[in-house]
Every structure is written in structure tokens, then in C-alpha cells.
Structure 1
Amino acid sequence: MAWFRRRKQSSGAPGGRPANRADLDHLEEFVRSRRGVEAFIEPRTTVTETTVMLIAFDGEWTRRRVDGPDIARRFAHKMAIPIYDVALVGYPQRMRDFNERRKRADRADRG
């Protein structure tokens, strides 16, 4: 059975691909196009590399891979936004509220 065969990862990175310039471009655009954005560093896991989650004032969020916590901190400094370690502070309530509003809207759209 092929179900249990292991695949080799081409990049050596968890999740199959390293961060790239398009990831940083997306993060920069998110910061430029929203108000009150804060960054949250998410540590590397067995599944993904280090990621940074950006959360706007209304709870809208996005997440992309970065090449380590130092890159995330440099990005936040460059963009002049606060950055936090999610393992220490957790996620803000406004993000959970945004996700709940989005779920309700999706359910209403479906009927």
C-alpha cells in the first residue's frame, strides 16, 4: 500500500517549501493596506517553518513563512509595527472574534 510511504521533502524545510520573497511582499502589502497591524511570531514546528501572523485592528489576519524569528523581528522593525512571541502572549481576542464573524457570514451565505 502506498499510503504509508514517506516522501522526501525537496527543500529540507518542514511543510515542503522555505519562505520566499513573495511571502514578504504579501506581508508588506497587508501592513500597508490595513490599520493597527501587529505581528506575532509563531515558532517552527514539525509541520511548518517559523511563521509570522499579522493581525489588523479589526482582527483580520494573514500568515506567511519567514526564515526564522530574527527575520520576523527585522520585518516588523522595518514596517514599524509591534511584534510579539505568540508562545508568550497568545493570540488577541479580536482575531478570534473576526474568525467567528467570518464563520457566521459563511453559514448565512450557505442558506
Structure 2
Amino acid sequence: MAWFRRRPQQGRPGGRPVEKADLEHLTQFVRSRRGVEAFVEPQTTVTETTLLLVAHDGEWTRRRIQSPDVARRFAHQLSMPIYDVRLLGYPQRMRDYNERQRRRPSP
């Protein structure tokens, strides 16, 4: 099978460039909520590097980002703390928010 003969793609040190719509969504999320913190999720074999934003109440959003460096620059431009999810893990308030959403009755 060809799976084992695949070579990494050349010329892509950080993945695809970030789309403008993704950056606008992330910026809007930060500006419309309070206490937002950023978490960088590393690239895996299935997903590219992503930036997870979590608000004070646990509401969250996630978008693909080109690299951890781009994520850090984005967070610093918006004066937002940024963490590595591999080192810190996901915040409890995010898990609590997900649980509240799951228990909500359907409309």
C-alpha cells in the first residue's frame, strides 16, 4: 500500500494560511465576551493546529490556525492570555459548559 511510502509535503512549515473569516470569527468572539483565554491545540495526524477560545462562563469556539506562533501573535494583539493545551489541559469551566449544554432540554 502507498500509505507507508508517503512523504511529508514540502514547503508547508506551518500548514495552510489562516482564512480571513476564521480570524474575524475569533476576533468577534473575543470582543463580544469577557474573560476569554486562548488555548493552542497541537497539530495531529487528523487535524491541523487549532486555536481554542474559552470565555469566562465556559462558552468556547475553535478554529484552525496556521501555527502556534501565529496563535500567540493573535492572542497578544488582543491582549489575551494564551496557553498550550498539552501542558495545561482544557479548563474545567469548558467541560462544565458542555455538560450544561448537553442537559438543556431541546426546543
Q: TM-score range by the shorter chain?
A: 0.7 to 0.9
- CA-CA distance at 1:47 after TM superposition: 1.2
- Give the structure 1 partner of residue 6 of structure 2: none
Unaligned runs of 5+ in 2: 4-8
Q: Give the letter aligned to residue 79 of structure 1.
A: L
Aligned to 1:104: 103
Q: Is the 8 A contact 1:23 1:65 kept in 2?
A: yes
Contact 1:44 1:51 in 2 (8 A): yes
Aligned length: 95
- Tell me by how many angstroms 1:48 deviates: 1.3
Runs of 4+ off more than 4 Å: none
Residue 65 of structure 2: aligned partner: 66
Unaligned runs of 5+ in 1: 1-5, 7-11
Q: Measure the CA separation in 2 of the matches of 1:80 and 1:18.
A: 22
Instruction: Give the partner amino acid of 1:109.
Output: S
Partner of 2:50: 51
State the distance in 2 between where 1:64 and 1:19 align. 9
Q: Greater helix share, 1 or 2?
A: 1
**TM-score of the superposed pair, with normalisation by structure 1:** 0.80
Note the aligned Cα RMSD (angstroms).
Answer: 1.8
Which residue is equivalent to 2:28?
29
Deviation at 1:18, TM superposition (A): 5.4
